[in-house]
Structure 1
Amino acid sequence: MKSKYIIFALLLAVATSFVSCDEDGWLQRDPKDRITDEQLWNDPNMILGLLANYYDRMPQLAGVFNTGTNTEFDDAMWSGHVDQNGHNDLNYADDYGRYWDYGYIRDINLSLENMEKFSVKLNETQKKQFNAEFRFIRAYVYFELVKRMGGVPLITTQLIYDGSGDPSSLQNPRAKESEVYDFIYSEIQDIKDNFTQTEGSRTRANKITALALQSRAMLYAGSIAKYNSQMSAPISTAGGEVGIPASMAVGYYEKSLEASKAIIANENYELYDIAGSPKGENFYKLFMDKSCKEVIFAKDFMTGKVHGFTYDNVVRSFRVDIEGSSILSPSLSLVESYDYLDGSKGTLRDKDAEGNYIAYDKIDGIFANKDARLYGTVIYPGSAFRSSPVQIQAGVATWEDGGYKLKVGDLASVYSDGETLTGADGPRDNDQYVSNTGFYIRKYVSENPQDGVRPSLASNWYPWFRLGEIYLNAAEAAFELEKPEAKDYINKVREVHGGFPANSIQTLTNDIIRNERRVELAFEDHRYFDLKRWRIADKVWDGLDSNPVAVVHGLYPYRISRPGHPDNGKFIYERVRPTRFKKARFFRMANYYSSIDQAVINNNPKIVKNPFH
């Protein structure tokens, strides 16, 4: 039951000694460490403080800027401390991705009811604004629930126990999966025009933020409706808690496209593009520049509220603390998903048709003319960081017995010719706090040296929604609706962010759409859920060692030491499977919907289990 008071964690110090209760009525005084409902719900600043707490609690797969999370999304591996937690032996367990936070929903429902009851001194504009923000957060939470669990109980009011000994009134069954998506859509329609005080805000919800949620959530619903039905054995339950009828797909795609088009047409948002600046630099900076007009909604960080992503992932030789750094090693598969600017596939040309090494004059020659988003996402051999060259070189190749022999040394070691043997940044196979693949992550890693030092750490923000995603959402929805403008949305992103010529894609396919999402949205918490909603995760992560996408590979550069030969001083590249990557990633049918905790089912027998659990 609701208490008469909401207790804050701000205690007032007692400044004077106690005096007789008979003399000054001490026992009749209002408590000084409590705020009444009437005070709280009529003070805009206090309501905003509560909202800040709710914004801060908004969920991602395993937490914002959680370094471990990104290693589990296929496109990187763990190169941090000696692996004790299975980072590179990932089993997608039955509960992987599980989320069931009804305490959070209860808090939001209580806030909405209290505001309706007590906020008599707020004007209607203020009440509508706060109501819209609370409901946006609740809709977002339900989206996080449904995309992991399928249909869940839709609770929009307090559940209050009557003390009768019969808890059945508190036990709600799961809604249909489609009903949860329909609830999210209806909430957005109800609130989208009530954000009159946060227009243009990037850290509080507004109309465009609500439409961004509509764009994403309705795309997910449409995908599940279409692609689940195309499986040889569609995943479903008898009551519709899991599975959406294929007949609903078009309607969801239309709702997604409608929202995307409204956002794209809004002049307050635009793809990040600084004239005269290299495209790769632009793509990196859009995540670091808090004046960026591409970001729609972000979780902000500032002095006193910082994160350790730069500390965890800064390139080895740039670290300041003796521990940490270089935990994420992006995969070769990700790097090769970035196409060449001439339109050819991104497969790196390390050997010729006869299987001979191709020698490049410069260490970064193999990456020349690649999609600029690669530079903004991944640090590869020959890259610069913080205006200094990154020292990525695995070793030296010497010509012996008719072929190249590859030699390696310790980090920052020198070969007998007086030049580098192994670079200060590796790569080094089966080592810790140094890349094991030959690549480092650039996206989100701050160039400010102080941001990699404890306790100050980094304060760059985490974009929840940005315009690049909305363009890709629009492209996918339009493609599914067989609208010709679908390719225009893809081409716009490729031109502005990737540096491709205008209209580089003439014929759009599902494979192109899916690859564009992979390269544009790498490490932004999309890939795991994208593969699930397309119903291809079990095929991409099939557990087979022969699958180059299920297994993380790397690419090691070697300097040729062959005096008197034209290739002397050039570079060749060797594909490797890092020793620390133990097992191919294996996504089972049971992983399309996470298991529901048995304690939840024990407390509520109306809850239906998910398939395969």
Structure 2
Amino acid sequence: MKKLTTIILAAGVTSIAVTSCKKTLDKQDLSSFTASQVYNDSTTTKLSVDYIYGQNQPAWFGNSNGSISTQLQGLTDEQYSDNAYVKGTVTVDNVTDIGTSNTSGNYVKIRTINMFIRDVNAGTLPDAQKKRFIAQALFWRAYRYFELVKLYGGVPLVLTPLDAVGDEAKAAALLPRNKTSETFTQIVKDLDTCIKYIPVKWPNNADYGRITQGAALAFKGRVQLTYASPQFNPGNDMARWQAAYQTNTQAVSVLSANGFGLYPKWDVTMWTTDGSSSGSRPQNPEAVLVTGYNTKTADIEANSNSYANNTVPKYIGTTGGSNQPTWDLARAFPMKDGKDTLTSKYSYSTQTFWKNRDPRFEQTIAYNGANWYVGGNSAYRIWTYQYYNKANSTSTTSSTEITGPTTTGLYLRKAVDPTLTGQNFLYSGTDWIEIRYAEVLMNQAECAAEIGNLGQGQEAYANLIAIRKRAGIESGSDNLYGLTANMNHDQMINAIMKERQIEFAFEGKRYWDLRRRKLIESTLNGKRRMGVIFQLVNNNSGTDYIQGTRDGLANTNFDQLYSTYFTVKTKTLDSYNIAYQTADYFFGIPTASLRNNANLQQNNTWGGPFDPLQ
């Protein structure tokens, strides 16, 4: 899809310059325009709000360019990474999202949004147009404050542009932190205003990707779910859960009434089907909140992403191959009857780990010998095994991967466009879906479970069943798709969290889920992440002796190939036990921020007086 047209606003909002254009008019030099000319005209105001979209839309994995969001997968058991968070060595200066300068960060983006709101209000557009433009800006202000509050707790709420010149102006800008409750209240207030004035769908295909009423409701549901969760709600105030339930239920209703729903099958087309079919109604009903990309490489409209290049193995022709699932994630998938490997009717062994698994396993994990439609080749098989490269030796091995062999033994295949080849891996146009309809169902199910709607047929069960049914899991004689009947609260919450781990693997959700439920320490601490080694059985030839026949052997009898030619064994990736700090549930305010603003207070979990639970 084409990205939304954008415009850069100068700091004083006295001139504008185009950064991405589609129409001839948009390509004109607009630098001589004044603020009144911009905000008295709907075309140039649209360019301005589109710039706000471009500044704030999350990229792949939900990356909002923050300290955490740029490395989300490596913070959990999804992917291996050596970092301060898993080591337990985080300090107050690691998480700098609150800002330590006046030129970048969340507050610079919030300032741009506040300036837009001020100037649209001062313009002469019809009232209805003003409200619709401002509604979009308010969504992104809520998004930015949510990014801050989930890291630190309450932060200073800046709702109008602050003057930047003069001692009095600088002193007035030294704002104290608002309470966490006040910050969440403001986020919800902004979203409520957005929901009131935003349409359920936009009229034109080119508006695909704009915020809709359903998307704003879904995001509000995510916000309220977080506020109700144990990280922010240790006293388990049920009013918070009830509010989150009501919002998510409304989101499901509005989205369902306007063409949104579960994509009919769980495969790569759930990601590569994008764009609009009628107005802003998506061709992919799953796509609730979307960041659009295209495959252009050299003109002013170019807006590609590097996801495929960073995911497909280097030896296929990319420079990446770094998105590598752990064995822990591979083991987490249930069997195809929806049961875990201990209770399933299907037997499980490490040697045949791929057999009879949840169909989402094959669509997420690329493993040695797997058939992976990639690089335009639907018959392609990926090989990651090691072989002995010296005759009569069992100590020296080489990888069948020519360059950049996988560290974990596995690759991520989720959402990789199979038609990309060669240099096109660098220019993927696959859209990022920040909120899928499946997440809205899962959010509603969690809230339902917390307020006691646990009966079979109510949302806690019904939504899990809908997601598992779409995934292709067997229904079973009880039509519960592998779920246990009559689960209590704790069992249902565990089932929901497990389902989120599988459904949203490598979508930037796992860390935030463990964090808000305060499960990071109990899930990860004391553990070391695991990889897998596929070893070619030694025949003392010192060669990769099946290289010319392996595809044929795999096509004929995959089970026999493995039992005859490979051993499968696990390996430890971490050299130390994961040791998350309890204090990390609310990060410390950076030293530079405290120096810049004497009115900021440090969190009490980092030696200060500010209570992030108030």
Do the structures match in fold with TM over 0.5? yes
Question: Which one-letter code corresponds to 2:433 in the other structure?
Answer: P
Match status 1:326 vs 2:307: no
Question: Which one-letter code corresponds to 2:364 in the other structure?
Answer: T
What do residues 267-318 of structure 1 show as CA deviations (whole Å, max 9, x unaligned)?
4101111xxxxx5xx3322112113111011111112111212112212432
Judge conservation of contact 1:451–1:457 (CA < 8 Å) in 2: no
Which residue of structure 2 lines up, in the alignment, with residue 140 of structure 1?
Answer: 143
What do residues 98-117 of structure 1 show as CA deviations (whole Å, max 9, x unaligned)?
42221111111111010100
Q: 2:78 aligns with which of 59, 63, 75?
A: 75
Q: CA deviation at 1:149?
A: 1.5
Match status 1:105 vs 2:105: no
Which residue of structure 1 lines up, in the alignment, with residue 576 of structure 2?
Answer: 583
Which residue of structure 2 lines up, in the alignment, with residue 574 of structure 1?
Answer: 568
Secondary structure of the corresponding residue to residue 185 of structure 1? helix
Which residue of structure 2 lines up, in the alignment, with residue 490 of structure 1?
Answer: 464
Distance 1:66 1:151 in 2: 19
Judge conservation of contact 1:395–1:406 (CA < 8 Å) in 2: no
Distance 1:477 1:434 in 2: 43
Which residue of structure 2 lines up, in the alignment, with residue 218 of structure 1?
Answer: 224
Secondary structure of the corresponding residue to residue 76 of structure 1? coil
Judge conservation of contact 2:231–2:516 (CA < 8 Å) in 1: no
Judge conservation of contact 1:336–1:347 (CA < 8 Å) in 2: no
Q: CA deviation at 1:450?
A: 3.2
Q: 2:253 aligns with which of 262, 266, 276?
A: 262
Which residue of structure 2 lines up, in the alignment, with residue 276 of structure 1?
Answer: none
Q: CA deviation at 1:212?
A: 1.1
Q: Percent identity?
A: 21
Q: 1:124 to 1:316 in 2, by over 3 A?
A: same
Q: CA deviation at 1:347?
A: 6.7
Q: 1:348 to 1:98 in 2, by over 3 A?
A: farther
Which residue of structure 2 lines up, in the alignment, with residue 232 of structure 1?
Answer: none
Which residue of structure 1 lines up, in the alignment, with residue 588 of structure 2?
Answer: 595
Distance 1:67 1:33 in 2: 34
Which residue of structure 2 lines up, in the alignment, with residue 52 of structure 1?
Answer: 50
Question: Which one-letter code corresponds to 2:363 in the other structure?
Answer: G
Q: 1:556 to 1:408 in 2, by over 3 A?
A: farther
Larger Rg belongs to: 1
Distance 1:147 1:186 in 2: 17
Which residue of structure 1 lines up, in the alignment, with residue 101 of structure 2?
Answer: none
Match status 1:343 vs 2:325: no
Q: 1:212 to 1:260 in 2, by over 3 A?
A: same
Question: Which one-letter code corresponds to 2:14 in the other structure?
Answer: Y
Match status 1:474 vs 2:444: yes
Secondary structure of the corresponding residue to residue 535 of structure 1? coil
Residues 355-394 of structure 1 aligned to structure 2 (within 5 Å): 365-385=352-372, 386=374, 387-394=378-385
Distance 2:154 2:108 in 1: 18
Which residue of structure 1 lines up, in the alignment, with residue 431 of structure 2?
Answer: 461
Judge conservation of contact 2:200–2:213 (CA < 8 Å) in 1: no
Match status 1:250 vs 2:241: yes
Judge conservation of contact 1:537–1:587 (CA < 8 Å) in 2: yes
Secondary structure of the corresponding residue to residue 297 of structure 1? strand
Secondary structure of the corresponding residue to residue 335 of structure 2? coil
Q: CA deviation at 1:214?
A: 1.0
Which residue of structure 1 lines up, in the alignment, with residue 315 of structure 2?
Answer: 317
Judge conservation of contact 2:537–2:567 (CA < 8 Å) in 1: no
Match status 1:444 vs 2:445: no
Q: 1:202 to 1:372 in 2, by over 3 A?
A: farther
Which residue of structure 1 lines up, in the alignment, with residue 518 of structure 2?
Answer: 535
Distance 1:516 1:589 in 2: 25
Q: CA deviation at 1:338?
A: 1.0
Q: 1:343 to 1:43 in 2, by over 3 A?
A: same
Q: 1:162 to 1:392 in 2, by over 3 A?
A: closer
Q: 1:532 to 1:252 in 2, by over 3 A?
A: farther
Match status 1:207 vs 2:207: no
Distance 1:568 1:390 in 2: 13
What do residues 312-338 of structure 1 show as CA deviations (whole Å, max 9, x unaligned)?
22124322x5xx232122011111111
Going by fraction, where is helix more abundant, 1 or 2? 2
Question: Which one-letter code corresponds to 1:334 in the other structure?
Answer: L
Match status 1:298 vs 2:298: no
Secondary structure of the corresponding residue to residue 193 of structure 1? helix
Which residue of structure 1 lines up, in the alignment, with residue 547 of structure 2?
Answer: none
Match status 1:117 vs 2:127: no
Give ranges in structure 2 of 5+ residues lacking alignment: 1-9, 20-28, 99-105, 275-282, 297-301, 541-558, 607-614
Question: Which one-letter code corresponds to 1:516 in the other structure?
Answer: E
Secondary structure of the corresponding residue to residue 283 of structure 1? coil
Distance 1:86 1:411 in 2: 30
Distance 1:211 1:155 in 2: 23
Judge conservation of contact 2:335–2:358 (CA < 8 Å) in 1: yes
Q: CA deviation at 1:567?
A: 7.4
Distance 2:180 2:290 in 1: 27
Judge conservation of contact 1:472–1:489 (CA < 8 Å) in 2: yes
Match status 1:433 vs 2:410: no
What do residues 477-526 of structure 1 show as CA deviations (whole Å, max 9, x unaligned)?
10001113111111100111243424222344221111111111111111
Q: CA deviation at 1:93?
A: 4.8
Give ranges in structure 1 of 5+ residues lacking alignment: 11-30, 230-244, 274-278, 360-364, 398-404, 413-423, 426-431
Q: 1:298 to 1:318 in 2, by over 3 A?
A: same
Distance 1:184 1:248 in 2: 17
What do residues 12-52 of structure 1 show as CA deviations (whole Å, max 9, x unaligned)?
xxxxxxxxxxxxxxxxxxx9842101111123232222222
| Count of residue correspondences | 519
Match status 1:526 vs 2:520: no
Question: Which one-letter code corresponds to 1:5 in the other structure?
Answer: T
Question: Which one-letter code corresponds to 1:457 in the other structure?
Answer: Y
Judge conservation of contact 1:337–1:519 (CA < 8 Å) in 2: yes
Q: 1:568 to 1:170 in 2, by over 3 A?
A: closer
Q: CA deviation at 1:181?
A: 1.6
Judge conservation of contact 1:219–1:256 (CA < 8 Å) in 2: no
What do residues 528-566 of structure 1 show as CA deviations (whole Å, max 9, x unaligned)?
111111111122231x2xx2xxx2212233455789xx9
Question: Which one-letter code corresponds to 2:440 in the other structure?
Answer: I
Q: 1:511 to 1:568 in 2, by over 3 A?
A: closer
Question: Which one-letter code corresponds to 1:472 in the other structure?
Answer: M
Distance 2:30 2:509 in 1: 47
